[in-house]
Structure 1
Amino acid sequence: MSHTVFLINGPNLNLLGKREPEIYGADTLDDVTAKCSALAGPAGVVIRSEQSNHEGQIIDWIHEARETSVAIIINPGAFTHTSVAIYDALQAYEGLVFEVHISNVHKREAFRHHSYVSARADGVLAGFGVEGYELALRRVISLLG
């Protein structure tokens, strides 16, 4: 039996590998998805990777995940600090939620220190680069047993 895990990425993460590589590194979102898929396959996990610059689309995927997935690994980007709506959608989701940030948001501007998503997340990874996605996925796989 396979389990689906959503990788949901928010605004500007489509520019990963191009935007501020000194902060976010050289890997693209496609690279992240490929690494996670390679890790997931042997564990019977299917990765569904999505990215949007639009809050409503992210909420729609969270709603869809309620019926189709066992976990969400989410990097909400700037919506981390602003979106009560994404928090509310995650509150209605009963599966595992892991929040990922490529940079250590606590070493950056003060407005980045608060996360609405963290209040719902089962775990938060920040500052591990794109490897944070794989670390979150390893935890999901471990919890699935």
Structure 2
Amino acid sequence: MTKLLILNGPNLNLLGTRQPEVYGSETLAMVEEKCLQHATKLGANVSCFQSNHEGVLIDQIHAAKGAYDGIILNAGAYTHTSISLMDAIFSVELPAVEVHLSNIHAREEFRHRSYISRAVIGQVCGFGSLGYLMAIDALLAHLGAE
């Protein structure tokens, strides 16, 4: 069974209450449940993890090597600042998909740059929580697991 790790970065624990006009009204628990149900229907196993701390996210990426077949990452604001997360993804040599609830390219200019995008097979942004399901589909297709 294909195993995927879904990592969520800073402030995503506040989904549902933080700027719902930008990020929607679903909580992180609701998004994770949708991902678990979707992956199960496709015959995959998903584990979800959230941290507001960059080093903890890096540790999770490192631990994924040998334990997971791929990673889905919403790095939040670290997307635009973290060379360390980019390097971690490169170092584990696992396919990864970058996800954002909002369209980062239609927002403030500083959000247009993603360091993460250099290390991933693709990016899904602007579709709300549906983007996570799209990322699962894309990653499974990439792995030949669909």
Which of the five TM-score ranges fits, normalised by the shorter chain? Answer: over 0.9
How far off is 1:130 after superposition?
1.1
Specify the alignment match of 1:75 in structure 2: 74
In structure 1, runs of 5+ residues without a counterpart are none
Specify the alignment match of 2:100 in structure 1: 101
Match of 1:48, as an amino acid? S
Give the 3-state SS of the residue equivalent to 2:65 in structure 1: helix
Match of 2:81, as an amino acid? T
How far off is 1:36 after superposition?
0.9
- Cα distance between partner residues in 1 of 2:107 and 2:9: 18
Specify the alignment match of 1:91 in structure 2: 90
Specify the alignment match of 1:34 in structure 2: 33
- Cα distance between partner residues in 2 of 1:87 and 1:39: 27
Residues paired across the two proteins, number: 144
Give the 3-state SS of the residue equivalent to 1:92 in structure 2: helix
Q: In angstroms, what is the RMSD of aligned CA positions? A: 0.9
Match of 2:109, as an amino acid? A
- Cα distance between partner residues in 1 of 2:88 and 2:140: 23
How far off is 1:7 after superposition?
0.5
Give the 3-state SS of the residue equivalent to 1:26 in structure 2: coil
Superposed structure 1 runs of 4+ greater than 4 Å apart: none
TM-score, normalised to structure 1, is 0.96
In structure 2, runs of 5+ residues without a counterpart are none
- Cα distance between partner residues in 2 of 1:52 and 1:74: 12
Q: How does 1:1-20 map to 2 (within 5 A)?
A: 2-20=1-19
- Cα distance between partner residues in 1 of 2:96 and 2:102: 19
Give the 3-state SS of the residue equivalent to 2:93 in structure 1: coil
- The percentage of counterpart residues that share the same residue type is 45
Match of 2:62, as an amino acid? H
How far does the alpha carbon of each residue in 1:11-61 deviate from its partner, in whole angstroms, 9 at most, with x for none? Answer: 000001110000000111111111111111133211110000000000000
How far off is 1:9 after superposition?
0.5
